[in-house]
Each structure stands twice: as C-alpha cells, then as structure tokens.
Structure 1
C-alpha cells in the first residue's frame, strides 16, 4: 500500500473520528465511507488499520511537535537538558504547575485511547466479517499490535488505567463503567494480543516500511517480558529476533541517514513521513504537514553574528533539548563512532556576507565560548550547545521549519541490550557479555582496549542504554522499569555545567530537587477524571 494511500485513508478516518460519538453512531453517515464499510468489508477494514497509523503519526506532526518531543527527547530523565519551551511540568516536575491539567499528559492519554477504541472495533467486527481467512489475519494482526502497543504505553506511563476491549456502540456509549484495571489484567490483554499477532504472521518477516510486522510484535513482546520480569521469555524472544530476523547492526553513520528518508537494517518500526503524499508541507489538516523534531534538537546557532543556517549544522534550530554533560561524558570521543555520527559538537562561522573586521574571529573559525566570541553564559546554551544528529534533516532547505524525515520508534540495537539484560538477570553473564559486546564492537573502534567488556552489572546496562538510545524516547521507561528513575534524575537530571560553563538558569537542573517518588507515573488527565466521574487520581497529584 503506497504511502499516499495511507495518508488519504488516514485523513478520511480522522474526519470520521472528529465527529461527536453520537453523530458517529447515526445510521445515516454524512460521509460516503460509512462505519458499515469500514468494519464489515475487506477494503474498509484495511483502511481502518491504516487510520491507526495516522492517529499515531498525528502526535509527531502537531504544530511544534511539543508533546512528541517530550517523550523522544527523554525529558525528565538523567540524560536530557531541556532548555526551554517544552512542557515544564512534565520535563522538570515543577510543583507549582498543575501536572494533571497539562496538555501533554492529556494528549498522550487521548491519543492512545483513540487507537484502542478504533482497534477494538477492527478486532471485534473484523473477526466476525466474512472475508478470506488470510486477509482477516493480516488485518487482525496489525490491529492487535496497535492495541497492545497503546495499552503497554498507558500502563507504563500512568500505572492505573481503564481497560476496555469493546467497540463503542449506540447500546453501550452511555453506560460505560470506568474503573481502574489491575495491572495483571492489563498485561494479560497485552500479552494475548501480541501472541495472537505473532501467530497470525506464521513466521513471515515481510513488512512494508512504516507498518507493524512480526519484528515489531516480537520486539514489544520481549519488552513486555522484561517489564513482567519474565526473563527467560525475554531472552528467548530477543535471541529469536537476532538469529532469525532480517535485521543486522549497522555502522552508526549509516543508521540516521543523510537523506533521512531511508529505512535501514536496524529498522524494526520507523514512523514514515511523505512530503509529496498530498502536495507538500502546507496542506494542513488535509494531509501530512511534517514534524519539527530537527528544530527541537538543533541549537539556534544562526543567532550568533557571522553564522547562517546550514544543513551540516542541522538547519533551522530552536535549541530546546540537548544532551547533558553526564550523557556526553559516557562516550570516548576518540574511539566511539557514535560521538561524531550522532552528535554535532561545533559550529563554524559561515556567513560570507558578514563583516568580520569588527570581531576577533574570522570566516571558517569555530565558535567558542569566551571573551570576544559572541558566546556568553547567557546565550551559549541556546545557540551553541551540542545538537542531536539523529534528527538532522540534510534534505530540506536550511531555513525550512518542517521536516519529513522518518522517525525511529523501535530499533534493532535495543534488542541486543534486551538480550544482554535478560541473560544477566538469569545469571548467565557470559551470554550477557556476548550480546552487549556485539553491540559495542559495531559502535566502538578496535583501537579502544576497552571495547569488549569483561564484566556486567546494572551500571554497565544503564550506561550503554544511554549511549545507544539517547533521545529515542526509551530512557524514562527504562529507568522506571529498573527502579532507578528518581535516584538517577536527582543525581544527573538537567544541566548545571557544560565544559566549565556554568548554567545560568537554576530551572535547568531543578528536576533534581523537584522529582518525588510519585513522579514514576503521570497523573490521570484532570479532563478525563471529570468525564469518567469517579475514576481516581494517581497518588501525589
């Protein structure tokens, strides 16, 4: 299915989803695409599945990608420096802001439940629809993965959630009982959905870019096993992905490619964007509008006199999220290939039209902090901090404010970390070292005598996870799972100093003192509590 078809049907479904629930359930639907078509025909069900991807992608391509960046930027963890603009109640755990009323919290909750509600309908009606069994399994397996993925996200982020597997109908819309489900029950559904999806693939690894395939189902099932402390299952499935799957580790320079549109040998699930699906970047709600991730993770270096925007430095930047010194100190700059492949460490004066006669630096010099350099403690962190090349868009014009780079959601290298952890927790340090060293050998040059580790402990795992997966939206969940979130944020959260430059705003490291034990879960959005009438708020909020 071509990506323009994905956007077409996705836009159509979002129109359907924008109606009130009672309007949506009327027999006379104002659209030619009726619910009867969507849920009782092969073409309709396939289109409904496509719509789930569009709901997912909509979080990334909102106006400023704020809500998506909070997650992908690992905000509120031990490796991020959130300078400005993103939701501070979430990123810095500010006690003076009403966490439960923050739009980021509400939007993620609503997005996941929107996917669940659509998936419930696809699974319920699709299971009963008279279509060829082969086609039915293809439809259901993707819907199962979507529902499992959304419930998995919700239960990890909120702990206390509502569990529902029924589609919304005229008969049950007004009589829903909203109560907290046990985590045991939620995980039973997640595991059942993923196991069903895996069985429906029947060993077929074939998948289109941007589509949930067998690899995604196995990846999620492995992650779920780690959360449930079922380490034998996690080890078995991770090793299956490594030995039987079509994936392989790539050189760091070849993963986040310069054109940003490619899928690589590490792509398990990558969110797809297509600038030309419906005519370009200015199509608004009728089609794809791209996302702002490159701007979030690129400093505003062009504000420095003598510089202009350049693709090699990330193009247009807002300078909102950067790595902190703790994260950067985990790399060996001389031997770790990730250091230069994934992080932009310098910015060169490149404005040929600028009059350099009045300053102490020249065209081609590297911007440095200090007297006469135009970089002070006040503006350095906005204009010249380290940028994240994982989101650089070398294809767009340097001054473009939207990107159509594809976004990694689940990447193969994490499977090696999963395999290493699972085997370590099972007491098999030899196998744990094998998997983490296989990853390190693909990332670190042979000149480093410490490339291959000889012992494995929790710190080994914590540090390698940060080096490998920083700013891919995995850190908060990982630290929560291993019981280290609060302590690690208190020790390293935010940024106090970088290369001897003292942070000028105490808010930049305020998460260290703001975070409390209850912050290991988000609050239930207040708007949802009001609507559900009686659903309890999470403790501490």
Structure 2
C-alpha cells in the first residue's frame, strides 16, 4: 500500500509536465514553449514555467468532462441524481436511480473515485505545488506572482469545495508532496473549520488580485466572488453571501443576457458567463469530443420522417431527461421562455415526407393513471422533452460525439444566491429573483420563501450540475422531501417502479457520497467513512 501511495503521489508531478505543452496550445492567450524547455526546473523555478503550470490547471479541470467513462458520466452524474431528472437507462441511469454508487465497494463508487475524488485531489495538489513554488520564487515580477497565486488558489478552493459538498469527510492541506512526506499517512478528516478557513483564505486572495476582465476562459474577480458567495451559503453566512453576490452584480462588468435564447448560444463568451470551460475543434489540446449533449437529448431521429438535426437538439440517446416535476414548474407560466427551445425542447417536427413541419405525436405519455398509454416507454425514448443547453450550432447531427464550451458558473445563479441570502438575512430579495424571471418572460413574484428559491433555481439552472448540492445545502429535510416526492417519474413511468425508482431507493445517508474503499485503503486505518456506509 505504501509503495502504491508513493507512486501515485510522485506520478502527479510527472503528469503535470507531460501536459503543459498541450495545455499551452489549447489557450489562445498563451505563448507556446519548445518542449525541450518543459522540465521540473522550468515549471517550478521560472516565471514562465509557473504561468504554464497555471494553464495546465484549466486542462486538468476540463478532464472530468472529457473523460469517456460510462458515456461521459463525469459531466452528467450530478444532474442525474436530482429531483429534476428522469434517469432512463445506461450506467448513469443506475447511478441516478440510486441503484449504484451507494456502497464503498460497488462499481459506481469506483467510477466516482476516479471522476471526482481523485480528479479534484489531483487538481488541488497541483495547485498547491504551484502556489508554494510561486511564493518561494525570488526572481519574479510581483504582479505575475500574484496572478499565478490567485488563479492557482481559485482552483484549489474550487476543488476542495466540490469534494466537501460531495463527500463531507475530506482532508485539506497546503503542503507540497515530496519524497520526504510521501509516506505520511492521513489519519483523520479535516474539521469543517479547517476546510472553510482554507477556502475563504484562498478566495479572499483571488478576489483581491484577479481583475474583473481577462481573456475568455480564465477565472476573474467575478468568478472568485461567485464562488465565495457559494461557499458562504454553505457556511450559513448570509451577510457574506449577500455582500459578494450583490457586489458582483452591481460592481462588475457582468449582466444577464437579454433573452434566454442567448445564454447557451455560440461559444458562451458573453456578459453573463463567469466561468466557461473551453474546447476548440482541430486544435492540439483543444479538448475531446463528448456525449454530454447526447445524454440529455431524446432519440427522436429514430422515427421515420425526421432526421437528427441541430435545431431539434442534435443526436441523442435519452439517458437523462427532465422529469414531470421540472416540466410542470416550467409550464406554470405560459410566457416563460425557458421551455421554448432555449433551455429545453418540448416538441419535435417531421423534416421530410408528407408530414413535413408537422408535430410528431405518434407516442403518448401517461396522463391518466386510470387509463395509461401503451406507448409511454417509446415516448420517453423518442419524443420526451430534452435539455438542449449543451447543443451547439456547429455540431455534427450525425454523431453522438460533440465538442463544445461548457458553462460552469453564470450570473443568473449569482442573482438567485443574492435573493436567497437576502431572504435569509435582511433586505428585499424580489429585485434579484424577479430579474431572472423577467428575463425569461415570466411574471414577477410578490413574495419569496425557500420553496420559491428552489423552484426558480430548478427552472433556471436545471441540468447544470448544481441541483443536488442545493438540496444538500438546504438540509436533510429538504433533500429527503424533494428526492422522495419528485425524483424520477414514479407511477407515470411504471416500468421503473420498485427497484428502479429513485424515490424508493433513496436513503437519508445518501446525502453524502460513499468514499470508495480503494481510496480509504490509501488513508490511515482510522480515517472515517461517511455515516451509513460502514
């Protein structure tokens, strides 16, 4: 075990060197360096090397989305495990229905280990190496040092924050792994106080030293303020969350896009975007093709008389679909544009033959439980509404594999954070939640409570990977209620009743993911597994 641990810790340093040239070439704001210059001395002891090391963090961060494990589970898992999704099939379906990923030794936990636990610890460790090297380097311009430190500290805090939200029992460190300490055994988790002290320290530095504007794709002061507000929400520090969110909204250069149609169009290089993972076609290091969009789009193209086309979502295979609960929320206001081919596609149309341009209605969902449709399974597979936030105008409609920029953080969530933080502290939350609703064409609210916040976050942010975390943050009662009442579609998809029903399968201790046994084996013998999994 000790030999494996040393190998893993030492290999991460070599991995950094192996990707720096690729990472450099994938960002248009960086200058290529000859490969002969890329070695450990260059990375950690030179100004240009540290700048290149920071760029590699962006590449590592993108790896989770690019990883093809089980139909690109790393990019879609968190959306599948929410109260807003129907997880139809595939291994992600098993995970979303809480049939897998519910034991430290099952295959799902092993996937989560690779795609999340190891992934984010890898980024945090690499960021720490860069931070400690930048702080020690003497021959470096101070502005560049602070820029390097600010970006690296953002990535460290973002990684540890993600791990904490998933696993709870995590450890954090500011020490660089060396040959001398590689055998040190981690015997216990970090306290909540230790975790949040590091998160806040890193983010305070990033906010102070990052600029409001930078090259598209790089983190900015606004990105750090948004993350700081999210961290404060998890601490229950409503005043801090309010301050950071309102400051970002009122002082920064960002603004909501005028229409919902524009939010996910093009390359997402616009005023609402706070952090976008970049990919680019036909470029070394430009990122891999993924099936993220295909996971969310139904198989309408298997119906005679309609071909896969970008206007209707591209080519999909119906893994994760918006459930009835989410669709009902979107339908509450008939003027809400978020279900009008901007965030979701509700209807499909023939593209050839005698019925060209007519809506396809050959399969029916169950609407009357006393007289169920006999074609509901085909409906879910081929005609069900789809999330189209990840479809791109230049996608290949004949391929499940696409390459696209991915929105990670955006200002609409900042507005909803501000609304909730103000609701829980002092002030008027209505201008902030209604700004999001007004942009979508929905009528403004007259009052705001926790359920109104939950509902608006559902309409605006569904399938962006934040819902499960929001439920967990709001507490055990909230996540238990939402999952057991709304996850999946229950009796409206009777084929999944019983062992395939997430409402039935949910257990309260699933509020934390299990730490995979393969990861516990590399920790001290007393390191605590999350409650319920022992």
Same fold (TM over 0.5): yes
Instruction: Report the counterpart of residue 128 of structure 1 in structure 2.
Output: 136
User: Which of residues 504, 509, 519 in structure 2 aligns to 1:513?
Assistant: 504
TM-score of the superposition, structure 1-length normalised?
0.85
1:441 aligns with 2:438: yes
The residue that corresponds to 2:326 in the other structure is 327
375 and 296 in structure 1: CA distance in 2 versus 1, 3 angstrom threshold: farther
CA contact (8 A) 1:309 1:315 kept: yes
After TM superposition, the structure 1 = structure 2 runs for residues 220-231 of structure 1, keeping only pairs within 5 Å, are: 220-231=227-238
Root-mean-square deviation (Å): 2.4
Contact 2:499 2:505 survives alignment (8 Å): no
Is the 1:496–1:508 contact (alpha carbons within 8 Å) kept by the matching residues of 2?
no
Indicate the SS of the match to 1:268. Answer: strand
Matched with 1:493 is 487
In structure 2, relative to structure 1, the CA distance for the partners of 1:375 and 1:208 (3 Å cut) is farther
Residue 182 of structure 1: aligned partner? 191
Equivalent of 1:87, from 85, 92, 114? Answer: 92
Aligned residues: 487
| 1:53/1:16 CA distance change after superposition, 3 Å | closer
Superposed counterparts of 1:57-76, under 5 Å: 57-63=62-68, 64-71=71-78, 74-76=79-81
Give the deviation of 1:142 after TM superposition: 0.2
Aligned to 2:349: 348
Structure 1: gaps of 5 or more residues: 1-9, 18-29, 279-285, 357-361, 446-450
The Cα shift of 1:427 comes to 4.0
Deviation for aligned residue 1:307 = 2.3
In structure 2, relative to structure 1, the CA distance for the partners of 1:507 and 1:219 (3 Å cut) is farther
**1:286-435 alignment runs, 5 A limit:** 288-331=287-330, 332=332, 334-340=334-340, 341-352=342-353, 362-370=355-363, 376-428=375-427, 431-435=428-432
Change (3 A) 1:210 1:497: farther
Q: How far off is 1:364 after superposition?
A: 3.3
**2:346–2:386: 8 Å Cα contact kept in structure 1?**
yes
Give the C-alpha shift of residue 53 in structure 1: 1.0
Contact 1:45 1:139 in 2 (8 A): yes
Matched, 1:456 2:463: no
CA contact (8 A) 1:11 1:54 kept: no
Contact 1:490 1:512 (8 Å CA) reproduced: yes
Q: Partners in 2 of 1:408 and 1:179 — Cα distance?
A: 35
1:56 aligns with 2:61: yes
Alpha-carbon offset, residue 11 of structure 1: 12
Higher alpha-carbon deviation: 332-341 or 417-426: 332-341
Residues 375 and 32 (structure 1), Cα distance of their counterparts in 2 relative to 1, 3 Å cut = farther
Dislocated runs of 4+, deviation >6 Å = none
Instruction: Report if the CA contact (8 A) 2:104-2:515 is conserved.
Output: no
Which shows bigger deviation, 33-42 or 86-95?
Answer: 86-95
Q: Relative to structure 1, is the Cα distance of residues 97 and 334 closer, same or farther in structure 2, using a 3 angstrom cutoff?
A: closer
Q: Distance in 1 between matches of 2:363 and 2:219?
A: 50
8 Å contact 1:162–1:180 — kept in the other structure?
A: yes
Aligned position for 2:24: none
Q: Residue 206 of structure 2: SS of its match in structure 1?
A: helix
Q: Following the alignment from structure 2 to structure 1, what is the Cα–Cα distance between the partners of residues 238 and 218? A: 27
1:401-432 superposed Cα distances (whole Å, 9 cap, x missing partner): 3222211100101111111111111143xx11
Aligned equivalent of 1:211, options 207, 212, 218: 218
